Amino acid sequence: MEPYSTCFRCKYEEAGQLKYCPKCGARMRSSATLRKTGWFLVWLSVPILIGLVLLPFWMMANWTAESTEKLQSEWLDAILAFCIYGLMIAIFWVFAVGGVYQIRFGRRNKNHLAAMWRLIGALGAVGRIVRD
């Protein structure tokens, strides 16, 4: 695949390695740089996956009758715990799928970036709910 450069400010693309965009002057990103970022995202998703697999086993090992009573009396905490776990699963998928896309095509996916920012916003909203 031929290397090319992309400007994320004005969406200009050109074959070859350019440092700055000829249209707007912003810094260009090469396809090789984006592929490296994709590998980073894939590797970042591995510990998240391990945590998602091990978390239920850790919770089962530390579960007591007292914690069951507390969970039944404070049902909002249970809902928030499920929401946080669901967000962790979604973040794993965004990192893994986005990373593979960048490795394969050498460019960012706009839908992936939008989904990532929505997940960050959702995580922040859940955090505010838990805090209050």
pLDDT tens digits along 89-125? 888 888 898 899 989 888 777 787 787 788 778 877 8
The predicted model scores a pTM of 0.68
Phi, psi of 91 (to 5 degrees): -65, -40
* pLDDT tens digits, 68-95: 676 666 766 677 777 778 888 888 888 8
How many C-beta atoms lie closer than 10 Å to residue 6's C-beta? 20
Q: Burial code of 96-130, b = ≥16 C-beta within 10 A, e = fewer? A: bbbbebbbeebbbeeebeebbeebeeebeeeeeee
* pLDDT tens digits, 41-58: 999 999 989 988 888 887
Element (H, E) at 39: helix 31-61
How many C-beta atoms lie closer than 10 Å to residue 5's C-beta? 22
